[in-house]
A and B are shown apart, each in its own frame.
Chain A
């Protein structure tokens, strides 16, 4: 199906440590994998995305890896800062006739302690 499993549900790290959030999906037709960050009282905001023809993508302290064979993808945040504290969501879609329909993971509450 279209479900996405996200782990862990909560993650607590010290400032400067790395944080890793993992997601698995079941639909092998999935070809687009975005990550969204949601701060308290705000809407989700895209922080990085990856397409199925790419294995890894990096943007400053944030990186995403995709393993199509195993059907999982991960978000890596290095040198975490207190302002990274938020809820993070992975998602997937198949594009094409799905017209951008995103299926989200359950979310991970990340807390970075100063």
Chain B
């Protein structure tokens, strides 16, 4: 069974469109994250939710809006897509956060904006 799953795996779209990426974890974790990995492989956190509550919101354009319908799901909606949004987006989840703990990453969604 896949622990953290994301759909779609690939997403090609044009500038100005709105798109969503879905994430689900079956690990029973309380915390979920969205990361962006750019073309140079640099990984940077975007958002984190703990029990459906937003707790980390890095300096991300407000065109990006995460939504957590329940603690097993964290979706990412992107409005008015721009060329610079092209990247691989990873969802992750973890149980322990207070003292640091393993984060389980999904397989990634490669977004290409043309």
- Enumerate chain A interface residues (CB-CB to B < 8 A): 31-32, 34, 36, 38, 41-46, 49, 51, 87, 89, 93, 95-96, 98-104, 106-107, 109
**Bound: A106/B85 CA distance, A:** 19
- Chain B contact residue count (CB 8 A cutoff): 28
- B49 CB, min distance to chain A CBs, angstroms: 9
Inter-chain contact A89/B43, CB cutoff 8 Å: yes
> What are 24 inter-chain pairs, A to B, with CB distance below 8 A?
A32-B99, A38-B41, A42-B107, A43-B90, A43-B107, A44-B90, A45-B105, A46-B102, A49-B100, A95-B98, A96-B98, A99-B48, A99-B97, A100-B33, A100-B94, A100-B97, A100-B103, A101-B48, A101-B56, A102-B45, A104-B42, A104-B43, A106-B40, A107-B41
Inter-chain contact A99/B55, CB cutoff 8 Å: yes
In the complex, what residue of chain B is closest to A87 when comparing beta carbons? Answer: B41
